[in-house]
Amino acid sequence: MRRSRWTCALLVLLALAPLSGCVVSQVSMEIPSFGDGDVDGIWLWRLSSTTNQYERDCRITLSSPDVDLKGKEFVSYTQQCSSHGDVNLGAYIHRSPSDPNTITLVLWYTRWQSTPGSYKASAYNGAGESALSATAVTL
Strand partners, 105: 29
Give me the residue spans of the domains in the chain. 2-127
- Digit-coded pLDDT (tens) for 11-39: 444 444 444 567 889 999 999 989 888 89
**Model pTM?**
0.81
Contacts of residue 7, defined as CB under 8 A and 6 or more positions apart, other chains included, come to: none
**What letter does residue 67 receive in the DSSP assignment?**
E
Q: pLDDT tens, 39-61?
A: 999 999 999 999 999 999 999 99
Report the 10 Å Cβ neighbour count for 106: 11
Q: What is the mean pLDDT of the chain?
A: 86
Identify the H or E element spanning 85. none
